[in-house]
Structure 1
Amino acid sequence: MGEHQPHRLLRKRVRDIASGSEGELMAVVTENVSDTGFERLMDLAYIRLPSGLEMTTAVDNIEAAGR
C-alpha cells in the first residue's frame, strides 16, 4: 500500500477528465504502478462514484466537478 497524500479536493465532488466520471475524492495515494520490477511511483486519485464503486485515475486527471 502506498503513502496517502494531502489534496485540496479531498471529500469534494470531482470529475475525471479522462473518463468524464464524477464522484467524491476519497484519497490520493502514491503507489508503485510498475509490473516490470522497476519502481514507477504515481499519485493515484481514488474516486467514489454515485454507485458506491471506487475508481482510480491519475491525480492530474481530476478537477472540481461543475467547472
Structure 2
Amino acid sequence: MSERYEYLPHRLLRQRVRDSASGVEGELMAVINENVSEADVEHWTELAYIRGSSGREFTTSVANVEAAD
C-alpha cells in the first residue's frame, strides 16, 4: 500500500473560505488527498482542512470549499 496522504495545491490556500455544507468560515490551511483504505482496497479522498475563528481545525470535502465574501 502506498503513502497514507499527500498534500495538494489549491488556489485558496491561506485565504478566508466558507464550508458550503456547514456555512462555517475560516482559513484554508491544507488540502490533502488521504488514503482511507480498508482491507485490500485502496480508496482516496480529498479533504480540506479549515481553521475556524476558535483556532480549531475541521475537515470537509474539497468540493465544499468556496471563497468567503
State whether TM-score is above 0.5. Answer: yes
CA distance in 1, matches of 2:25, 2:43: 27
The correspondence for 1:45, drawn from 38, 45, 48, is: 48
TM-score by length of 1: 0.89
Task: Let me know the Cα RMSD of the aligned residues.
Answer: 1.1
**Corresponding residue of 1:58:** 61
> What is the TM-score with the length of structure 2 in the denominator?
0.87
Give the Å deviation of 1:44.
0.4
Output the amino acid matched with 1:24. Answer: E
Residue number in structure 2 paired with 1:8 = 11
Q: Aligned residues: percent identity? A: 63
Question: Which of the two has higher C-alpha Rg?
Answer: 2
